[in-house]
Amino acid sequence: MMEINRRAFLGLLTAAGAVAAMPALANQSRAIPGVYASASRGEDGRYYLNVVAQDALRVTHLLPERAHQVLFHPKQPWVIAVARRPGTFIDIVDYDSGLLVKQIVLAKGHYLYGHVQVTADGRYLLTTEKHPDQQEGQVVVRDLRANFDVVQRYSTGGIGPHELKLTADQSEVVIANGGILTEGREKLNLETMQPSLAYLNLASGKIVEQVALDERYHQSSIRHFDLSANGDVLIAMQYQGHPADDVPLVAHHRRGQPLTALDIPTPVRTQLKQYCGSACFDSTGRFGAVSAPRGNRVMFWDMTSGQYLSDVKTKDGCGLAPTDVASEFIVSTGRGRFYRVNAATAERQRLSLPGEAIWQWDNHMVRLAG
């Protein structure tokens, strides 16, 4: 009973994943299906913003320091990279010319938490930031038509906000308040941290809904999430307590409902080192993926039922983006790889990247729509 047969164990891991499904991926092209952007570390040890497509590495933009989230502008041929926490720059690069459109540098004492959104009309840029006089985090709004100046600041209703997303109707911004008070990158309040998911109404500036897990899970930091077109939120957490504790690491939310943990089979959960990286919905919003770079895998759920489906091995994989095919995602890794993975079949296919250089792909990636 004590002995765990490794083969049986691995079988258990993939049992839910319909291993016998058609080998659809094997027949597909290994070319990158679309245009994707990510921050990276180059072979020279410096940090970059890259745009990658089937034919070429289209942008290789040297950044002042390490970046975190990247985003395509909805109206302009721009790609945006935000400094990693606690950084102070936002680089906006024209991906056709490769030229820097604008480098926003924060005022002294302010810093970024690493995430960004742009309103669908292309006018406003929203970031999560720390104000030197405020313990709670802020959503800061800049007007791209008015010299990128700050036009609004809202409290996020919690300490240490991280990822943020605009709702489809643009009326609200959803914020992951990670709960962790930091100095530099040192964590100061792990015993008292209170993470939450907050919905901020942009017209009133008020938090209109805020949810958290049960108090006993207060050390599960709510850091990253994706928001589907129909309002589902898939949350990837990072637990700050004991490495052996059995705690939620992935959760689901919908406006007006409680925050609910999503099931992860024990043999998988115990490999994750309490750390999830990115969350992502597929093109249909039915399938959800969460990356676990310390567990070297990406996990999948059917979001209509909340049922765990499967996982695939992706060494040091963290960046996630959908393709235009249902149930399909691209995973980028810190070992310089892109994989196409399928939530419905648990298949994995390594993709060819243009060029010889190895780029260590950083935490998040994004797909150019259309």
Partner 1 sequence: MMNKGMGIRYSLALCAALMVPKAHAVLSDEQFIGLTESVVDQHVLPRYQALAASSKALSTRVRALCAAKPQASLAEAQQAFIAALQDWQQVQHIQFGPVTLLMRNYSMQYWPDKKNLGGKQLRAALADTNAVYDAAYLQHASIALKGFSAMERLLFTKHAQQLTSGTPTCRLSDGIAQHIATSSAAIVSEWAAERDGMLNASEDSDYYESPEEAATVLFKALVEPVEAIRDSKILAPLGETYDKARWTRSESWRSDQSVPNMVSNVLALQALYQATAPISIKGLLHSVDAPLAAAISEQFAAALAALQAVPQVEGKTVSKEAYDQLKVAERALRTLQSSLLAATRQLDIQLGFNSRDGD
Place of tokens 């913003």: 49
Residue ranges in 176-205 that form contacts with partner 1 under rule CB under 8 A: none
Q: Which is nearer to partner 1, 133 or 191 (CB)?
A: 191
Give the number of residues in contact with partner 1, rule: CB under 8 A: 69
**CA dist 85 to 27, 111, 364, Å?**
41, 7, 14
Residue ranges in 256-315 that form contacts with partner 1 under rule CB under 8 A: 266-267, 270-271, 275, 277, 293-294, 296, 313, 315
Cis before 86? omega within 30: yes
Q: What angle do CA 195, 170, 114 make, to 5 degrees?
A: 45
CB of 147 to partner 1, least distance (A): 23
Q: Which is nearer to partner 1, 62 or 107 (CB)?
A: 62
Residue from 17, 37, 70, 84 touching partner 1 (CB under 8 A): that is 84
Amino acid symbol at 302 = D
Contact string (CB under 8 A) for partner 1, positions 16-55, x = contact = -------------------x-----xxxx---x----x-x
Instruction: Say how far apart CA 137 and CA 121 lie, in whole Å.
Output: 25
Q: Which stretch binds partner 1 (CB under 8 A): 102-110, 133-141, 192-200, 238-246?
A: 238-246
Element housing 137 (H / E): none
**CA dist 130 to 135, 299, 342, 356, 357, Å?**
8, 32, 38, 39, 36
Handedness of CA 98, 102, 106, 107 (dihedral sign): positive
Any contact of residue 7 with partner 1 (CB under 8 A)? Answer: yes
Instruction: Say how far apart CA 58 and CA 351 lie, in whole Å.
Output: 17
Give the tokens for residue 210.
């805020």
Residue from 85, 252, 340, 367 touching partner 1 (CB under 8 A): that is 85
Instruction: Say how far apart CA 48 and CA 65 lie, in whole Å.
Output: 8
CB of 158 to partner 1, least distance (A): 17
Amino acid symbol at 112 = L
Any contact of residue 215 with partner 1 (CB under 8 A)? Answer: no
Residue from 39, 68, 199, 234 touching partner 1 (CB under 8 A): that is 68
Any contact of residue 342 with partner 1 (CB under 8 A)? Answer: no
Contact string (CB under 8 A) for partner 1, positions 111-150, x = contact = ---x------------------------------------
Closest CA to 281 of 189, 359, 362, 168: 168
Any contact of residue 320 with partner 1 (CB under 8 A)? Answer: no
Residue from 16, 18, 28, 77 touching partner 1 (CB under 8 A): that is 77
CB of 345 to partner 1, least distance (A): 15
Residue from 23, 242, 304, 307 touching partner 1 (CB under 8 A): that is 242
Closest CA to 259 of 215, 226, 214: 214
CB of 152 to partner 1, least distance (A): 25
In this structure, the number of other CB atoms found within 10 A of the CB of residue 232 comes to: 19
Residue from 160, 362, 366, 367 touching partner 1 (CB under 8 A): that is 362
Residue from 132, 184, 256, 370 touching partner 1 (CB under 8 A): that is 370
Q: Which is nearer to partner 1, 287 or 339 (CB)?
A: 339
Any contact of residue 167 with partner 1 (CB under 8 A)? Answer: no
Q: What is the DSSP string of 6-42?
A: HHHHHHHHHGGG-TTS--TGGGS--S--SEEEEEEE-
Any contact of residue 360 with partner 1 (CB under 8 A)? Answer: yes
Contact between 330 and 1 (Cβ < 8 Å): no
**CA dist 92 to 89, 97, 99, 254, Å?**
10, 12, 9, 32
**Which residues form the interface with partner 1 (CB under 8 A)?**
1-7, 9-10, 35, 41-44, 48, 53, 55-62, 68, 77, 84-85, 93-99, 114, 162, 223, 242-244, 266-267, 270-271, 275, 277, 293-294, 296, 313, 315-318, 333-335, 350, 356-358, 360-363, 368-370
